[in-house]
Structure 1
Amino acid sequence: AAGAAALLTTHFSLNGSAETVVALGDRYREQGAQASIFGLDLSDRISSDGAVDDSTPGNYTIWYRLDGIPWSTPLARNV
Structure 2
Amino acid sequence: MNSDKREPREWFAKILKAVAFVKKYGLLMLGAFILIMFFYSSWSNDRHIKEQIQNKRDYRVLQAQQHLKIEKQELQIR
Quick check: TM above 0.5?
Answer: no
Return the index of the structure with the highest Cα Rg: 2
TM-score, structure 2 normalization: 0.19
- The structure that is strand-richer by fraction is 1
Q: Higher relative contact order at CA 8 Å, sep ≥6: structure 1 or structure 2?
A: 1
- The structure that is helix-richer by fraction is 2
TM-score, structure 1 normalization: 0.19
